[in-house]
C-alpha cells in the first residue's frame, strides 16, 4: 500500500466535510480527522471542518 487517498468515486460514505483540510487537527482534504492527543481516527470530521466545508460550498 502506498498510503495515497482513494479517488472520490471509490470511497464509501464520503462526508462532505472531508472536502477541505481540518484547521483543528491538521488532516488534509480527503483524510479523516484525528484526535490530536492520541492520533486515533475520528468517525466524523471535527464540527469546525464541517462548517468550513459548508461555507466553501455556499
pLDDT in tens, 9-58: 665 667 889 999 999 999 999 899 999 899 999 999 999 999 999 999 88
Q: What spatial distance separates the first Cα and last Cα of the chain, rounded to whole Å?
A: 36
Q: CA dist 51 to 3, 6, 33, Å?
A: 27, 23, 14
Predicted pLDDT at 58: 80
Instruction: Say whether 47 sits in a helix, a strand or coil.
Output: helix
For residues 32 and 5, which has the higher predicted lDDT (pLDDT)?
Answer: 32
pLDDT higher than 80, residue 7: no
Query: Residue 12's pLDDT is what?
Result: 63
Amino acid at each position: 500500500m502506498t498510503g495515497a487517498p482513494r479517488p472520490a468515486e471509490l470511497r464509501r460514505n464520503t462526508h462532505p466535510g472531508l472536502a477541505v483540510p481540518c484547521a483543528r487537527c491538521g488532516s488534509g482534504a480527503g483524510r479523516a480527522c484525528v484526535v490530536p492527543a492520541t492520533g486515533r481516527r475520528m468517525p466524523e470530521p471535527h464540527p469546525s471542518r464541517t462548517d468550513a466545508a459548508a461555507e466553501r460550498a455556499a
